Amino acid sequence: MASSTPLAWRVPELDGVPSAVSCGDEVFFPTRERYVEVATALRRAGFVTVSDLCAVDYLTHLDRALPAEVPKTRFEVVVNLLSHAEARRARLRVMVPEDDPVCPTLFFVYPGTENMEREAYDLMGIRFAGHPDPSRILLPQDWEGHPLRRDYGSGRVPVQFKKAPGPR
């Protein structure tokens, strides 16, 4: 049975962490310095599964709605957590500045995040400090750039279909 008690009331480590409610889920905005501490506290509180960890590039949406005390940065790391016992979700949104795109790893709290963090690095360029294997996972090791960043140049690959009529 889901608890309606706000998590901040029962998890002392959430004290002082800005929060909001989005789509019925509690959303917390820890600093990079408190990110692992808050994730560890939520795990102890029963949020045992990371359903998703990704990075978002807000290059063209820096005016997005955030709690007043949360600085608006270009990048965010977003983590969706599940508590099966309470049938409840929680979300962490960590602001990551463009000039220092590094966030601590959650691998030692949630080992299942290893490949999700590698994907976030590969496609968005967010490095995860302390990660046991920070190599690329989707692209070749010598690939330059991070293709999901909004300022990554898009190229064109000419496509030639077999038996297609030529130009008229």
Q: What is the pLDDT of residues 33-82, one digit of tens each?
A: 999 999 999 999 999 999 999 999 999 999 999 999 999 999 999 999 99
The tokens of 99 are what?
Answer: 């000039």
Q: Is residue 162 part of a domain?
A: no
Residue that has been written with the tokens 């990079």 in this structure: 32
Q: Is residue 82 part of a domain?
A: yes
Q: Is residue 136 part of a domain?
A: no
Query: Are the C-beta atoms of residues 47 and 81 closer than 8 Å to each other?
Result: yes
Report whether pLDDT(166) > 70: no
Residue numbers of the domain that contains 25: 7-129
Q: Is residue 163 part of a domain?
A: no
Query: Are the C-beta atoms of residues 29 and 67 closer than 8 Å to each other?
Result: yes
Report whether pLDDT(22) > 60: yes
Report whether pLDDT(168) > 90: no
pTM of the model: 0.87
Q: Is residue 159 part of a domain?
A: no
Q: Is residue 39 part of a domain?
A: yes
CATH of the domain at 16: 3.30.460.80
Q: How many domains does the chain have?
A: 1
% of the chain surpassing 90 pLDDT: 74
Q: CA–CA separation, 128 vs 117, rounded Å? A: 7
> CA Rg, the chain, in Å?
19
Average pLDDT of the residues in 141-162: 79
Least trusted range by pLDDT, from 79-88, 95-104, 136-145, 149-158: 149-158
Q: Is residue 117 part of a domain?
A: yes
Query: Are the C-beta atoms of residues 140 and 115 closer than 8 Å to each other?
Result: no
Q: CA–CA separation, 141 vs 151, rounded Å? A: 21
Q: Is residue 73 part of a domain?
A: yes
